[in-house]
Amino acid sequence: MPPEYEIRLALGDEIPFLPSLEEEATQRFWTIEELRDLSDDITCVEDLADACALGNVWVAATPEDELIGFGYGTRVDDCFHLQEVAVSQSWGRRGVGRALVRAVADYAARAGYPAVTLNTYRDVGWNAPFYAKLGFRVVEPDAWTAGVADAVQAEESRGLPRSLRVVMRLEL
Pairwise CA distance, residues 52 & 10, whole Å? 7
| pLDDT on residue 40 | 65
Q: Which residues of the chain fall short of a pLDDT of 70?
A: 1-2, 36-40
> Pseudo-torsion of CA 83, 17, 56, 146, nearest 10°?
-20
Handedness of CA 91, 70, 44, 39 (dihedral sign): positive
Give the strand order in the sheet containing 57-61: 6-9, 57-61, 67-76, 79-87, 115-121, 165-171, 137-139
pLDDT at 136: 98
> Is this prediction's pTM over 0.85?
yes
In order of their start, the domains of the chain are 6-171 (3.40.630.30)
The predicted pLDDT at position 37 comes to 66
Question: Residue 65's pLDDT is what?
Answer: 92
pLDDT at residue 2, as a whole number: 61
The pLDDT score that the predictor gives to residue 32 is 80
Backbone angles phi, psi at 142, to 5 degrees: -70, -10
Q: How far apart are CA 119 and CA 124, in angstroms?
A: 12
Cα–Cα–Cα angle for 4, 99, 172, rounded to 5 degrees: 160
Which pLDDT value is given to residue 41? 75
